[in-house]
Amino acid sequence: MISRCANPACLAEFDHREGRLFRFPKRAEDRPANTHSVQHFWLCADCAQSYLLEYIEKQGVALKPRVELATIEVRHFIAAA
């Protein structure tokens, strides 16, 4: 269950009425065979204005600045693949 913003630097508590919800596949070794499992992440409204979450195969979920705001490619992994 989501309890707070996925940005490790943010302490905002989950509010389904604000922000942005993301769904990504769970790692194959974390789920039973023949099942479809997802992980949910949430960015609060403030963080969603500046960041996106990106799933990178075999690496995990990364927090990255929005393209229009970033001058260089920066990623901070928040969950392992």
pLDDT of residue 67: 74
User: Which residues are CB-contacts of 64 (< 8 A; sequence separation ≥ 6)?
Assistant: 51, 52, 53, 54, 70, 73, 74, 75, 76
Query: How does pLDDT run across 4-62, given as a tens digit for each residue?
Result: 999 999 999 999 899 999 998 876 665 666 667 888 999 999 999 999 999 888 888 99
Look at the pTM and tell me if it is higher than 0.75. no
The length of the chain, given as a count of residues: 81
What is the residue extent of each domain of the chain? 20-80
